Structure 1
Amino acid sequence: MYKVWAVRLPASLRGLADRLRWCTRGLVVAVLSQVGSVALFTVTLVTLASMVVGVGFLILPVVMIAVRGLANFHRRTAEEWAGVHIETPYRSTDLDDPYDTAGSVTHCRQLLSDPATWRDFLWTMLDGLVGLVLGLLPVSFVAYGLNGIFVTPLLWKSMGPHWGFGATWFITDQSAANLAIPQGILFVALGLLIAPALGRLHIRFNRLLLAPTRNALLALRVERLTETRSETVESQAAELRRIERDLHDGAQARLVSLGMSLGLADTLLETNPAMVRKLLADAMESSSQALTELRDLVRGIHPPVLAERGLDGAVRALAVGLAVPVEVQIDLPSRPHLPVESAVYFVIAEALANITKHSGASRARVRLWYAGGRLRAQVHDDGRGGADAEGGSGLRGLQRRLAAFDGELDINSPVGGPTLVTMELPCAL
């Protein structure tokens, strides 16, 4: 019997702590619902009305930043609290100069033509009541129950005969006040019991209004594909220019030099045999260097180790050749298609190269696995952090490389470290 309780007690405590967390979350939801409904909804109404006189065109973008910030907070908490992913539905907008009146009008037109703007507006209006009730009800039950347990039996005399303060009956004596204790226990238990269910119900309500509709998903998909297609074309053009430059400055120059040496050797063949031998030696060296440069160029397009060993072996070869100790964990049931394999390899190679050049890390870890029709990889190091894809580094190029396959690259690198680079792209093995 002792062993059974020793096992069950920690689980019971974890369950109680989880229900208490849901009560606290409910209080946060109730407060934010009033911020959204009373403050943001009212300000949005006033802003829309003031657009008649032109002032609203300058205010609306700022108001929408606040509304979308609150909505995005609820999207993040839905994922963190209940594992429910709510995708962001907003269309991209352009505003080159926030002080340009024409630009502000265009920006407002884009915001108001986005269905997600009006769904957010409806959400702020309804969440004032829905969030208040669903968030505050469990907290109210717990608070009312605790009041009945600890306050009513001790302080009822100072308040005189009364009804409702910690009890659901009229209190006239100590016995009636003491009955508030078992009732308070029931209220606390009821509040803790319903807290997770009401919290998840509020998340379902948020998903109903904050998630993109089917048409919005298609529009976002088209927008993303248009953007990634443009980035892919630019990336491929840049890659072709790089190959052309490497050929022009490297192998082509050496081959031209080789041809000139052989031509000169042919001219001096009968008059200066010693010079011919020297020219032939130089030609052999030039041909060897040109061959090496061509091999390096081909290796940059598609590394031979990737073709021979696959992604698993190629990544392990990268890790072995790194100056920093790298732990490798790979779980791939079979090989992806060659283009996907090449893209993932180069992204991991660049991430590992950045660790060596910039991070100052003492250890690194690479994890690569396949699940749910998606290939995922993580590169982690314990370095100084501070990596930023928007800072002009090669990380933006890695994002463009993955975007060609509808993949994503996420970088979590606070100043002081550590750095976690996560990539994910859909593919079939």
Structure 2
Amino acid sequence: MATEYGQGYGHRSGPGFHGAAAGERRHRLPAALRAPIEARSWREFGYVMLGLPLGIAMFTFAITMFSLGAGLLVTFLGVPVLAGALAGCRGFGALERARARGLLGVEVDSPERVTVRRQGAMAWMGAILKNGSSWRHLLYAVLQFPWAVFSFVVALTFWAYGWAMLTYPLWFWLFPVYGGQGGLQLYGDGTHSIYLDNPFEITVTALLGLLITMATPWIVRALTTVDRLMVLGLLGPSRLATRVVELESDRGVVVDTAAADLRRIERDLHDGAQARLVNLAMGLGLAKEKLTEDPQEAARMVDEAHGEVKTALQELRDLARGIHPAVLTDRGLDAALSSVATRCTVPVAVDVDLPARPAPAIEGIAYFTVSELLQNISKHARATRATVDVWRVENRLMLQVVDNGVGGADVSAGSGLAGLAERLDAVDGILVVDSPAGGPTRITAELPWRG
């Protein structure tokens, strides 16, 4: 694994870092003043306005078809009508996801597909009736309508009154010219009438309209927050389906990692110990031939073969340690990480504070994570010291490796840290990298305990 410490200085990567981008646009106007004219505010307002006619269509379709299908269940016709109702609601759901994506910027994955195991209309109807996401779409069609009515009324009222009052100084002259009155009538009965017709009243009306206009985008934003939650909760994939997809992806990562490890072991055996053993066999064969002719030369060749045996044994020990060190199995993380720290090129302080040993698989992942991070420090960090801390927080195993090197480690640059993050993610782990330019570098890994 190789992390490019010297590249990309100033980058902070990994979960937990959400700083502003270098090229982020800076606004001169505060958010409260620019909100009424922002494109986002108008898109959200358009979303609310479109929600009412679409809600009427969805609600009418869902209630009519569901009631008709439920009423016809005493006959065979009820099943296809209900299946058609659910299929139609799924179609409306696709339209709603597209509307939310275009106007609200909400990315919602499509729900799990209807799995039809056999051919025929009956199999399709049974599959769509058993599919949980189909019933969630029906529920959305029913719940969205009353909320759409409420949102439409509130948003349109505030938007219309705010802009009308704000622009009142521009159009109040219509009342004396065409209406025969001084201005907009605020109150009137048989004896008294109050009109907004003098400069002070017109100014106050415009200022009040300005306040309502500035508040309206935030009110609409709060209304669309509920829409976002409904779309995400009812029209997206279920948590179970999402978890299945994650596990399938993690399984692929684990399989790829295991295959890569096997290829590495095969390469190390072929290029290392196997080649030495072949040379050793050839050398011993030559020594055997010279044993009677030149005993001294044979003894020298046997001595060289003895050295080759020691080297091959050391390579096999290193290879076995890379697969799974015996010290980890026998004595746990404390002793194993202390052994790894002695092979680092900089002084490393190891502090392991664990009440018990985690699951062997998690223990192995923790060991190899620290090993690779210390290897990075030796090769790239240009550090003078490092620390390794291991502790437990509730049901999570925490690892933290810190060095005072040059920094600049970037998990998003396709380096070895990215592969390490994928390995941790395959077991529900997390890798957080904090490595500003100039250091220090602080890398924290979180793993499930599973003791």
Residues 278 and 383 of structure 1: is their aligned pair in 2 closer, same or farther, counting only changes over 3 Å? same
Using the size of structure 2 for normalisation, the TM-score is: 0.50
Q: CA RMSD in A?
A: 6.5
Q: Distance in 2 between matches of 1:388 and 1:319?
A: 29
1:252 positional shift: 1.8
Tell me the equivalent position of 2:292: 270
**Does the CA-based 8 Å contact 1:91-1:114 persist in structure 2?**
no
TM-score, structure 1 length as denominator? 0.52
Give how far 1:232 is off: 2.0
CA contact (8 A) 1:28 1:135 kept: no
Superposed counterparts of 1:68-107, under 5 Å: none
The structure richer in helix per residue is: 1
Match of 1:375, SS? strand
| Of 307, 321, 327, the match for 1:299 | 321
| % identical aligned pairs | 33
8 A Cα contact 1:330 1:368, kept in partner? yes
1:340 maps to a residue whose letter is I
Q: 1:7 aligns to what?
A: none
| Contact 1:409-1:421 at 8 Å conserved across structures | yes
Q: Could you tell me how far apart the structure 1 residues matched to 2:436 and 2:157 are? A: 38
Q: Which residue in the other structure is 1:257 paired with?
A: 279
CA distance in 2, matches of 1:271, 1:172: 128
Deviation, structure 1 residue 296:
0.6
8 A Cα contact 2:434 2:443, kept in partner: yes
Aligned-partner Cα distance in 1 for 2:333–2:312: 28
Task: Report what 1:235 is aligned to.
Answer: 257
Structure 2: tracts of 5 or more residues without a match: 1-30, 54-94, 114-130, 161-165, 167-181, 187-193
Distance 1:368 1:214, change over 3 A: farther
Which string of whole-angstrom CA distances, capped at 9 and with x for unpartnered residues, describes residues 311-364 of structure 1?
Answer: 6861795399353x7787765432211211111222233234335544667887
Aligned position for 2:303: 281
Q: Could you tell me how far apart the structure 2 residues matched to 1:202 and 1:316 are?
A: 56
Query: Following superposition of structure 1 onto structure 2, how do residues 166-177 of structure 1 map, counting pairs within 5 Å?
Result: none
For structure 1, list consecutive stretches of 5 or more residues without a partner in the other structure: 1-19, 43-62, 76-86, 93-112, 141-146, 148-160
- Contact 1:30–1:133 (CA<8 Å) still a contact in 2? no
Select which of 221, 226, 233 maps to 2:243: 221
Q: CA deviation at 1:280?
A: 1.6
Distance 2:197 2:232 in 1: 51
1:80 paired residue number: none
Are 2:363 and 1:341 aligned?
Answer: yes
Which deviates more from structure 2 when the two are superposed, residues 294-303 or residues 66-75?
66-75
Contact 1:402-1:425 at 8 Å conserved across structures: yes
Q: Report what 1:388 is aligned to.
A: 413
Amino acid aligned to 1:243: I
Structure 1 partner of 2:44: 33
> Alignment length, in residue pairs?
343
Indicate how the Cα distance of structure 1 residues 215 and 40 shifts in structure 2: closer, same or farther if over 3 A, else same: closer
Of the three residues 370, 375, 396, the one matched with 1:353 is 375
8 Å Cα contact 2:253/2:422 also seen in 1: yes
Match of 1:388, SS state, is: coil
Larger gyration radius, structure 1 or structure 2: 2
Q: Counterpart of 2:341?
A: 318
1:252 & 1:89 partners in 2: Cα distance? 52
Tell me how far apart the structure 2 counterparts of residues 372 and 136 of structure 1 sit (CA, whole Å): 50
The residue type paired with residue 275 of structure 1 is E
